Amino acid sequence: MAYTVTPTPAGPVGSQYCVCKVELSICGQNLLDRDVTSKSDPFCVLFMEVNGKWVELDRTETAVNNLNPAFAKKFIIDYHFEEVQKLKFALFDQDKSSTQLYEHDFLGEFSCTLGTIVSSKKITRTLLLGNGKPAGKGMITIAAQELSDNRVITLSMAGRKLDKKDLFGKSDPFLEFHKPGDDGKWMLVHRTEVIKYTLDPVWKPFTVPLVSLCDGDMEKLIKVVCYDYDSDGGHDFIGELQTSVARLCEAQDASPLELECINPKKQKKKKNYKNSGIIIVKSCKITRDFSFLDYILGGCQLMFTVGIDFTASNGNPQEPSSLHYINPLGTNEYLSAIWAVGQIIQDYDSDKMFPALGFGAQLPPDWKVSHEFAINFNPRNPFCSGVEGIVQAYSACLPHIRFYGPTNFSPIINHVARFAAQATQQETASQYFILLIITDGVISDMDETRHAVVQASKLPMSIIIVGVGNADFAAMEFLDGDSRVLHSNTGEEAVRDIVQFVPFRNFRNVPKETLAKAVLAELPQQVVQYFKHQNLPPINSEPA
């Protein structure tokens, strides 16, 4: 999947983050029978919530006389990880040819997010009537599949005894790969580098998407053309050949595939013409370039942990000037950040039980300062049920702790890193850990935090930092390695950039969804990057 760099929060955020489509297949079971003389004739309508209103996206065909329909028509939706995409599936019994839904009998509906469907790959749920009660024994099954051919082809090419084209030296050969276009003309797909002064070139291996090379059709003819490079752009034609990816795949490391390079004009003129050299396919490998959605559909769970800053610089939570003060609307910047990130990520964790930790406070009964405590005061079970559970535990703990200091990040980062390290022992792409730290200011243990982040970069883990209030967040920008590679205090480099920092103040006057988009923009890349680096395919992936 293609993801872009986080946009500047002040401007509008478009749909430039994710370019992939999901296909949803719908089946119904035990639907209500609304027809007197025969069974219902059901069809399914898909709605999406847009600005608080349900908007119809598409409809299936009608299944005649069928209470257990499997609809042939699929729903295709653009998938955006960083958005909550609310969907509603409503079933109706077709009574008339009218397109107006009120003309048809209602058979029940089911609502959920697209994230819920893709994280489970397939769900079966009860259909509900308008009053919230079950629609008899009616059920709906929704299965998700990513619509993309993620195969890539890697070719190692060479040449032997190519025709000499230069008067005072040998040729400077390069290859071009073409496929047939819709207009019947050949379309350039890839050009190799030029190898100077040789009739026996060996080109660097290259990788292209299989869809680009042959539209995903292994039998489709492709054309390989060999030229002698001229700096004035008038490259001399050496020869060409036509083949298919299926044929190229016959090449193995031990036994290369040799194909004759033919110049048709020379072939016509010369009776004893053999060829203009040999093009050698040294190796041809087809693999899958897995996307974030491949890993999610494969069963990868996103494990979410929240770390909350309870240091004294936040101010007394009883006073409106405090960043922890809960206003009459029941919120503050800490809660806004928890909701923004949590409501997206919770769809990708099957049990929806999230550890919520605090740091920088003195705890009862002995009032010792802690930089890693469960905000539900249950260290053996720091889990909260869903985002609502985190919010409740946060509100409940405020009156019972004393804000103190310093602002130490490393204990909480190391806490989550221990679980991420345990997950690596499974050697499967089954879990990825996300730590959301919400803080009001300057880090006290910068050296330890840098070291903790560098070590965590080797693990299935990402860190999101949301800065609340108006403090100087230069240190956070330093940890977010977008512009430079982060080093630990001993000089060790981070293997990859795992920190995303966002100042909340940039999002105070924009829709709350904008914060989620900015905060989560880099996460899909980070998940894919980690598992690829470890050579771990999605759990239920098919071979290429």
Q: Which residues of 362-380 are buried (b: 16+ CB within 10 A; e: fewer)?
A: bbeeeeebbbbbbbbeeee
Percentage of the chain modeled with pLDDT above 90: 75
Which residues are CB-contacts of 145 (< 8 A; sequence separation ≥ 6)?
22, 23, 25, 297
- Pull the structure tokens for residue 121: 């790959």
Q: What span, in angstroms and rounded, lies between the C-alpha atoms of 32 and 84?
A: 31
Looking at residue 441, what is its pLDDT? 82
Looking at residue 63, what is its pLDDT? 92
Instruction: Name the pairing type of β-strands 461-467 and 499-503.
Output: parallel
Give the count of beta carbons closer than 10 Å to the beta carbon of residue 153: 23
- Of the candidates 483, 497, 488, 491, the one whose C-alpha atom is nearest the C-alpha of residue 530 is 497
pLDDT, mean over the chain: 90
Looking at residue 170, what is its pLDDT? 87
Q: Average of pLDDT values for 340-354?
A: 92
Residue 167 has pLDDT above 90, yes or no: no
Q: Under a CB-based contact definition with an 8 Å cutoff, are residues 463 and 453 in contact?
A: yes
What residues form DSSP beta bridges with 188? Answer: 178
Helices 386-397 and 333-345, packing angle to 10 deg: 160
Which residues are CB-contacts of 127 (< 8 A; sequence separation ≥ 6)?
28, 31, 91, 107, 108, 109, 110, 134, 135, 138, 139, 140
Looking at residue 3, what is its pLDDT? 23
Fold of 310-534: Rossmann fold (3.40.50)
Looking at residue 402, what is its pLDDT? 96
- Of the candidates 256, 252, 242, the one whose C-alpha atom is nearest the C-alpha of residue 214 is 242
Instruction: Name the pairing type of β-strands 353-359 and 373-374.
Output: antiparallel
Q: Under a CB-based contact definition with an 8 Å cutoff, are residues 356 and 346 in contact?
A: no
Looking at residue 482, what is its pLDDT? 67
Domain 19-147 has CATH 3.50.50.60: no
Q: Average of pLDDT values for 534-544?
A: 84
Q: Which of 3-7, 43-47, 146-150, 488-492 has the lowest mean pLDDT?
A: 3-7
pTM of the model: 0.80
Q: How confident is the model at residue 483 (pLDDT cuts 50, 70, 90)?
A: low
Percentage of the chain modeled with pLDDT above 70: 95
1-60, pLDDT tens digit by residue?
A: 222 222 323 332 333 344 588 999 999 999 999 877 889 999 999 999 998 999 999 999
Residues of the chain with CATH 3.40.50: 310-534
The top-level CATH class assigned to 151-288 is mainly beta
63-97, pLDDT tens digit by residue?
A: 999 999 999 989 999 999 989 999 999 999 998 88
Q: Under a CB-based contact definition with an 8 Å cutoff, are residues 494 and 457 in contact?
A: yes
Helices 410-424 and 446-456, packing angle to 10 deg: 10
Residues of the chain with CATH 2.60.40.150: 19-147, 151-288
Mapped onto helix, strand or coil, the DSSP state of residue 417 is: helix
How large is the greatest C-alpha to C-alpha distance in the chain, in angstroms?
Answer: 100
- Of the candidates 517, 538, 482, the one whose C-alpha atom is nearest the C-alpha of residue 18 is 517
Looking at residue 330, what is its pLDDT? 87
Q: Average of pLDDT values for 126-146?
A: 95
224-267, pLDDT tens digit by residue?
A: 999 999 887 789 999 999 999 999 999 987 899 999 999 999 99
Q: What span, in angstroms and rounded, lies between the C-alpha atoms of 258 and 240?
A: 13
Q: Average of pLDDT values for 104-112?
A: 96
Q: Under a CB-based contact definition with an 8 Å cutoff, are residues 407 and 360 in contact?
A: yes
Q: How confident is the model at residue 98 (pLDDT cuts 50, 70, 90)?
A: confident
Q: What span, in angstroms and rounded, lies between the C-alpha atoms of 145 and 542?
A: 13
Q: Which residues of 447-468 are buried (b: 16+ CB within 10 A; e: fewer)?
A: ebbbbbbbbbbbbbbbbbbbbb
Q: Under a CB-based contact definition with an 8 Å cutoff, are residues 336 and 512 in contact?
A: yes
- Pull the structure tokens for residue 484: 């430079």
Looking at residue 421, what is its pLDDT? 97
Residue 516 has pLDDT above 70, yes or no: yes
Residue 351's identity, in one-letter code, is D
Q: How confident is the model at residue 512 (pLDDT cuts 50, 70, 90)?
A: confident
Q: What span, in angstroms and rounded, lies between the C-alpha atoms of 360 and 362?
A: 7
Looking at residue 476, what is its pLDDT? 81
